Amino acid sequence: MIPVRGYEGKTVAVLGLGRSGRAAARALRDGGATPVVWDDSATGRDAAEADGFELRDLTKAQAFQDVAAIITSPGIPHLYPAPHPVIAAAWEAGVPVDNDIGLFFQSFASEGFEDFDTAPRVVAVTGSNGKSTTSALIHHILAECGRPSQLAGNIGLGVMDLEPAVDGEVVVLELSSYQTDLARSLTPDIAVFTNLSPDHLDRHGGPGGYFAAKRRLFAEGGPDRAIIGVDEPEGLYLANQLAQGPTDDRVIATSVTQKLTGPGWHVFARKGFLAEWRKGRQVASIDLRDIPGLPGSHNHQNACAAFAVARALGLGPKAIEAALHSYPGLPHRSQRIAEKDGVVFVNDSKATNVDAAAKALSAFPKIRWICGGLEKEGGLEALLPAARSVTKAYVIGREAEAFARQLTGIAAEVCTTMERAVTLAIEEAEPGETVLLAPAAASFDQYDNFERRGDDFVACVEAALAAR
């Protein structure tokens, strides 16, 4: 655990007692602060009280009289669609609002860093899609190359549950827009922007607010080096804002749609080959096509970003290439779970929006597509061009019929349940096809989260194959 610095002897409120909130409260206490905690759920309050924390109803008048700051969990809205009443009250009282990411960056460095041969560094990864895979891939490369590393944020540990850094260590953080939007301190050594597509628009007041939340990591974080995906206008804009000119190699541009060969530092992938260019010439190349843990152009985009980070940290191309080949992949993200009679089964339950699902559909030639769930804003029209490889769709979810009606030109069957969808897909699949779960929708109509949905898919596939 990383003790929080800067609040010794002060009272700090904590709102929201999920994983990050409880960890923040413990880290505040370890750092000499007095945390007072609150959660809208009685279950959360009871668990915190059992851990010895003082409960304080932050909805009451005068609750902030002696409070130096309030730390809020990322899932609690602070501006759109409306501020949580406790956060609004903190504003009125003039109490600074922060989150655990802000506490981490405020507290990570210690006096012991001066005794290290190599100072610890922080890599922060944000974007719409690919954050988890990119973060896990960076961590994997570092571990395979013998560099000490920890993985945290939206993946792995909560940031305050990290161990204090050792000599030469690299901390890799996956950060969502919910986390970057509010953190009062953002100071990564290397920051990564994977891509941008519409998501969480209600939480950020529209696409501009969503991009602005991501941009804070770079504009306010001031990283020593930025790795920017430039396949969308927002990425091009961000790279342009950060670079002092075309030769400024503090910005590494990445792409999977174009060849980047200007005078700067570029990493791109085309037709399954990753290339690194510096100062107008190619310096490295990797064949990504046969790497089982990184199928499809979306994973090649992740590989480009991870490769760029590893190169910025001083690792050699051959060592990085070897590490890419041993990457096992992440659960629920293009996860190959089975193969039988020439049919491959892939779990991409994390494809919760149209853009992520489109990338998953582009990764395989012949697909039996399991899709559906709680549809997000914007509809499915943008997904259809990527669905040319779909032989048939099997639609799940409470609103499966409405979802299926939008799949114009695609043979679709309303299944409603995962079990029915998997059973039909297996019955109808032919050798050379892939049964792919890529929902293009949130899970909350039937499941607590995308992990539960993916686990159900895996269980249904295993049961159906065992019965054949």
Task: Give the residue range(s) of CATH 3.40.50.720 domains in the chain.
Answer: 11-98
- Helix/strand/coil percentages in the chain, nearest 5: 35, 25, 40
Residue 378, marked binder? no
Judged against a pLDDT cut of 80, whether residue 111 lies above it is answered with no
Q: Which residues contact 8 (CB under 8 A, 6 or more apart)?
A: 31, 32, 33
Q: Is 338 helix (H, G, I), strand (E, B) or coil?
A: strand
130 is in an annotated binding site: yes
Peptide bond into 328 cis (omega under 30): no
72 is in an annotated binding site: no
Q: How far apart are CA 15 and CA 70, in angstroms?
A: 7
Banded model confidence at residue 89, pLDDT cuts 50, 70, 90: very high
Whose CA is closest to 372, among 405, 338, 337, 334?
405
Please tell me the predicted confidence (pLDDT) of residue 396: 97
Neighbours of 168 (CB within 10 A): 15
- Amino acid at position 382, single letter: A
| 107-325: CATH class | alpha beta
Mean pLDDT of 259-285: 95
Mark 87-118 as b/e (b = at least 16 C-beta within 10 Å): bebbeeeebebbbbbbbbbbbbeeeeeeeeee
Average of per-residue pLDDT across 115-127: 94
Average of per-residue pLDDT across 189-194: 98
Q: d(Cα 4, Cα 169) in Å, to the nearest integer? A: 20
Q: What pLDDT is recorded for position 1?
A: 87
- State the pLDDT at residue 382: 87
Contact 324, 286 (CB under 8 A): yes
DSSP string, 57-68: -TTSTTTTTTEE
Q: Report the pLDDT averaged over residues 211-219.
A: 95
**pLDDT tops 90 at residue 112:** no
Distance between CA 111 and CA 120 in Å, rounded? 12
In DSSP notation, 325-360 reads HT---BTTBSEEEEEETTEEEEE-TT--SHHHHHHH
pLDDT, mean over the chain: 94
In whole angstroms, give the CA distance from residue 21 to residue 9: 20
Among 371, 376, 387, smallest CA distance to 436 is for: 371
Query: How far apart, in whole angstroms, are the C-alpha atoms of residue 443 and residue 32?
Result: 40
User: What are the structure tokens assigned to 158, written together?
Assistant: 């909560």
Displacement of CA 346 from its chain's centroid (Å): 19
Cβ-contact 58, 37 below 8 angstroms:
no
* pLDDT score at 153: 92
Tell me whether residue 127 is annotated as binding: yes
State which fold the 11-98 domain adopts: Rossmann fold (3.40.50)
In DSSP terms, which residues pair with 404 in a beta bridge? none
pLDDT band at 35 (very low <50, low <70, confident <90, very high): very high
Q: What is the mean pLDDT of residues 407-431?
A: 96
Q: What are the pLDDT digits (tens) for 297-332? A: 889 999 999 999 999 999 999 999 999 999 988 889
- The Cα–Cα gap between 137 and 134 comes to 5
The CATH homologous superfamily for domain 335-467 is Mur ligase, C-terminal domain (3.90.190.20)
CA–centroid distance for 173 within its chain: 9
208 has binding-site annotation: no
For the segment 208-228, the average pLDDT, to the nearest whole number, is 94
pTM (two decimals):
0.84
Name 69's bridge partners: 12
Q: What are phi and psi of 318, to 5 degrees?
A: -65, -40
No. of helices (H) and no. of strands (E), the chain: 15, 20
Q: Does the pLDDT of residue 169 top 80, yes or no?
A: yes
Write the pLDDT tens digit of every residue in 134-158.
Answer: 999 999 999 999 999 999 998 878 8
Averaged pLDDT, 394-417: 95
pLDDT of the residue at 384: 92
187 is in an annotated binding site: no
Rank 110-114, 265-269, 290-294 by mean pLDDT and report only the highest.
Answer: 265-269
pLDDT recorded at residue 221? 83
The segment(s) of the chain belonging to CATH 3.90.190.20 are 335-467
Average pLDDT over residues 228-235: 97
Contact 286, 317 (CB under 8 A): yes
The answer to whether the CB of 367 falls within 8 A of the CB of 389 is yes
Six token digits for residue 322 = 């070897």
Q: Give the pLDDT mean for 22-43.
A: 95
Strand partners, 97: 70
